[in-house]
């Protein structure tokens, strides 16, 4: 190598020799002018860099093109930076607090001491952002010490907080003109590639997502690497609006919300029917597996959460009250209550496994800006279970839980994937126990040939876990089921059983949920089925329509009583509307079966039945129809 040059080894094993301080963009141009237009970023010795990055030593370079998902991440992050520039320069008194990316969204959080921005301001921001991208300004990237960064940022306290809390000795800044922002991800140099975006929303949030901190506003948008992807996303959203669970919930009269209890759903009669059917399905399956159902209080002494180890992880999202000068909190999870029930009795190895289940109502404070129908609420019902086992029962019991999860998800027609989450950085307990726990989970998955991916460092603070992700009819993935192995809580609560040698021994606790949150699971189901709920948990299973109320209503009531006596949920539409309207209304309400009763049906003792979504009617004997409905409702046989 000549003095003043650096040698670049490319991913195709070719080598280039370029002058010192040559940028990645010029290296890409050496490969070919057409390639340089496709290049978005480059890995330099394994570190992702902007194309403006200058090479100072021999290195390996691997380019990322705009078709790559990592490029989309950078596109969105660059847009969040550019939007922060526009917002801070467009409106007086605003201070940018944070920028970032969340899946396909990019966002900017900011404080507005003078007045909050509104949806009308989004148009101005969108216009200014478009103009900025068209002008294609140079973005200067600086890598400086923390002290230098704070000097450059001045008195911008939010950005300086991020600088102070950075784990690195140096931080990266992006600069357009006089505007400077801290950045944590490489930016796109060619701004012409940032045209496929749309600013979507303005919402409320809080600094560091903590309700006790400063109130902020967030502006967010979506972005993709090409126009077609943006178009497909817009089409998806348009389709989604028609099956949004909040819209379906209103149409089917399932639930509502009130400003008196933000983020806390009020279930109407129809919604409560579905919730109870979901609970009863799992209750029956758990009964077959020898689960013992329990009930624990909503409010317990604050010290319980400190003793359990949950305090440091959940206190910022808990609700508190004080009675007789004693501090209490609403439970954010059911685990400690179940530990107290176990501890209240003496147990032998012959008692294990003990399977303790509860449909427990829990409360967690979520930021108002993050509330989203039934998907993100402040109170929800958990199908919680805690299974107390000896060490040699761990693997067989986990397999039993996996089989139960498979049975439930199969009923709903869900495909699912499995993820193993390992020890997080803030783990509690002994490292050897953690290794044993992770190995136990791996053994179950491997020995039973279950495909899974590993999610490094995403386990619970008390133990590793298996998470189950279901895929709905729209192709979206939802994490619902979970199996968590816990050696820590038995230690903290001093739980014991008497083993075969008549000695005290710690049980191991398996935390288990299948729906996760019944409320969120209900929302997923409403969208998965587009509101066309399976017969067994449809709130109204059969709608009966008399042709003439005066003549046929007595017979209709007779049929209604026959159906209800078999546990079938029936509604009679005896309104004065025309027949065609009543039939259409039953279709709109997505009632699985509609029955029309007139003179012919009465004289023949038959039913004229139309199934939801069908245009033709079928004739049934009453007993045959009842037998058909009962068989269809019994999903466990």
Torsion of CA 482, 485, 490, 493, to 10 degrees: -40
Tokens for 298, please give them. 């909503």
Q: Which class is 70-231 in CATH?
A: alpha beta
Which entry of 49, 275, 376, 511 is annotated as an active-site residue? 511
Least Cα distance to 522 among 375, 624, 367 occurs for: 375
The owner of tokens 């709608």 is 543
Catalytic site includes residue 384 = yes
Task: Tell me whether residue 268 is one of the annotated catalytic residues.
Answer: no
**Dihedral (CA of 241, 243, 249, 253) sign:** positive
How far apart are alpha carbons 518 and 279 in whole angstroms?
8
What is the residue whose two structure tokens read 């060619």? 190
Q: What contacts 49, CB < 8 A, 6 or more positions away?
A: 24, 41, 42, 43, 186
Report the distance separating Cα 41 and Cα 64, nearest Å: 5
Enumerate long-range contacts of 428-431, CB under 8 Å, 24 or more apart.
428/309, 428/461, 428/462, 428/488, 429/462, 429/463, 429/487, 429/488, 429/491, 430/487
Mean pLDDT for back-to-back runs of 10 residues, the chain (637 residues): 78 88 93 90 94 94 91 96 95 94 93 88 94 94 95 94 92 95 95 93 87 89 92 86 91 94 95 97 96 96 88 84 91 93 96 96 86 92 96 94 95 93 81 86 91 85 88 89 90 94 95 96 95 94 90 91 94 88 88 92 91 89 93 88
| Cα 558 to Cα 563: distance, rounded to the nearest angstrom | 9
The C-alpha atoms of residue 582 and residue 559 are separated, in whole angstroms, by 18
Catalytic site residue from 98, 246, 331, 335: 335
Instruction: List, in sequence order, every residue forming a beta bridge with 96; answer none if it has no partner.
Output: 110
pLDDT of 587:
87
How far is residue 141's CA from residue 173's CA, in Å, rounded to a whole number? Answer: 6
CB 313 within 8 A of CB 335: no
Burial 239-252 (b: 16+ CB within 10 A, else e): eeeebbbbbbbeeb
pLDDT, position 523:
96
The DSSP result for 278-289, as a single string, is HHHHHHHHHHHT
Q: Which CATH superfamily is domain 540-633 in?
A: Anticodon-binding domain (3.40.50.800)
Question: Is the sign of the CA dihedral 303, 305, 308, 309 positive or negative?
Answer: negative
d(CA 163, CA 158): 9
Rounded CA gap, 187 and 70, in Å? 11
Q: Which residue from 175, 139, 182, 125 is spatially nearest to 157, judged by alpha carbons? A: 182
- From the list 383, 384, 486, 519, the catalytic residue is 384
How high is the pLDDT of residue 2? 46
What does the alpha-carbon distance between residue 254 and residue 266 come to, in Å, rounded to a whole number? Answer: 9
> In which residue are the tokens 């083993």 written?
499
Query: Is 347 labeled as catalytic in the residue annotation?
Result: no
* 520 labelled catalytic: no
Catalytic residue from among 88, 217, 286, 382: 382
Instruction: Please report, for the chain, the start and end positions of each structural domain, with discontinuous segments joined by +.
Output: 5-65, 70-231, 251-296+332-528, 540-633
pLDDT at site 256: 96
Among 49, 156, 245, 386, the one annotated catalytic: 386
* Residue 612 a catalytic site member: no
User: CA 270 to CA 376: how far, in whole Å?
Assistant: 21
Question: How many Cβ atoms are within 10 Å of 26's Cβ, its own excluded?
Answer: 16
Among candidate residues 364, 582, 589, 610, the one labeled active-site is: 364
From 193, 465, 478, 582, the catalytic residue: 465
Q: In this structure, which topology does domain 5-65 adopt according to CATH?
A: Ubiquitin-like (UB roll) (3.10.20)
pTM here is 0.79
Contact (CB, 8 A) for 556 and 544: yes
Q: What is the pLDDT at residue 3?
A: 58
Q: What angle do CA 82, 88, 94 make, to 5 degrees?
A: 145
- The class (CATH top level) of 251-296+332-528 is alpha beta
Residue 6 near residue 18 (C-beta atoms within 8 A): yes
């Amino acid at each position: 190598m000549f003095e003043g040059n650096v040698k670049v080894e490319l991913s195709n094993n070719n080598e280039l020799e370029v002058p010192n301080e040559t940028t990645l963009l010029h290296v890409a141009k050496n490969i070919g002018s057409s390639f340089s237009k496709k290049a978005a970023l480059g890995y330099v010795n394994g570190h992702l860099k902007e194309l403006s990055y200058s090479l100072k030593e021999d290195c390996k370079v691997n380019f990322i093109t705009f078709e790559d998902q990592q490029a989309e991440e950078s596109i969105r992050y660059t847009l969040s930076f550019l939007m922060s520039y526009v917002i801070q320069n467009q409106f007086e008194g605003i201070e940018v607090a944070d920028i970032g990316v969340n899946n396909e969204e990019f966002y900017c959080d900011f404080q507005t001491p003078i007045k909050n921005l509104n949806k009308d301001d989004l148009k101005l921001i969108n216009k200014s952002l478009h103009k900025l991208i068209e002008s294609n300004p140079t973005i200067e990237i600086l890598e400086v010490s923390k002290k230098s960064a704070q000097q450059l940022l001045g008195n911008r306290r939010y950005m300086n907080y991020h600088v102070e809390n950075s784990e690195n000795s140096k931080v990266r800044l992006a600069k357009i003109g006089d505007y400077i922002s801290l950045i944590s991800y490489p930016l796109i140099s060619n701004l012409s590639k940032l045209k496929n975006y749309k600013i979507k929303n303005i919402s409320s949030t809080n600094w560091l997502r903590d309700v006790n901190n400063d109130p902020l506003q967030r502006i967010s948008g979506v972005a993709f690497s090409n126009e077609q992807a943006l178009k497909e996303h817009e089409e998806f959203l348009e389709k989604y609006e028609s099956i949004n669970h909040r819209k379906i919930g209103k149409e089917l009269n399932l639930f509502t919300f009130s400003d008196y209890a933000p983020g806390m759903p009020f279930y109407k009669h129809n919604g409560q029917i579905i919730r109870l059917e979901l609970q009863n399905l799992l209750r029956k399956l758990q009964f077959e597996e020898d689960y013992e159902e329990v009930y624990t209080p909503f409010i317990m002494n604050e010290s319980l959460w400190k003793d359990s180890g949950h305090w440091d992880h959940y206190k910022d999202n808990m609700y508190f009250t004080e009675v007789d000068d004693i501090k209490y909190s609403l439970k954010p999870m059911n685990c400690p209550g179940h530990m107290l029930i176990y501890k209240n009795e003496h147990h032998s190895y012959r008692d294990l496994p003990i399977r303790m289940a509860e449909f427990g109502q829990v409360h967690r404070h979520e930021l108002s800006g993050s509330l989203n129908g039934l998907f993100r609420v402040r109170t929800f019902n958990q199908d919680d279970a805690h299974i107390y086992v000896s060490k040699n029962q761990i693997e067989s019991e986990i397999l039993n839980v996996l089989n139960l999860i498979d049975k439930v998800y199969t009923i709903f027609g869900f495909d699912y994937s499995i993820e193993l989450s390992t020890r997080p950085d803030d783990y509690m307990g002994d490292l050897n126990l953690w290794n044993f726990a992770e190995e136990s989970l791996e053994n179950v998955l491997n020995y039973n040939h279950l495909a899974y991916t590993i999610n490094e460092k995403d386990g619970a603070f008390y133990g590793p876990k298996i998470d189950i992700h279901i895929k709905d009819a729209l192709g979206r993935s939802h994490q619902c089921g979970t199996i968590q192995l816990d050696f820590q809580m038995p230690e903290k609560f001093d739980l014991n059983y008497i083993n075969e040698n008549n000695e005290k021994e710690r049980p191991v606790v398996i935390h288990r949920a299948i729906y996760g949150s019944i409320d969120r699971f209900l929302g997923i189901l409403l969208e998965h089925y587009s509101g066309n709920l399976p017969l067994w948990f449809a709130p109204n299973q059969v709608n009966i329509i008399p042709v003439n109320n005066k003549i046929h209503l007595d017979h209709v009531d007779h049929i209604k009583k026959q159906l209800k006596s078999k546990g079938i949920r029936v509604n009679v539409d005896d309104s004065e509307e025309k027949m065609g309207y009543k039939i259409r209304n039953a279709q709109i309400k997505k009632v699985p079966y509609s029955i029309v009763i007139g003179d012919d049906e009465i004289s023949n003792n038959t039913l004229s039945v139309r199934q939801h979504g069908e245009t033709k009617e079928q004739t049934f004997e009453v007993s045959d129809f009842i037998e058909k409905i009962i068989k269809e409702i019994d999903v466990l046989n």
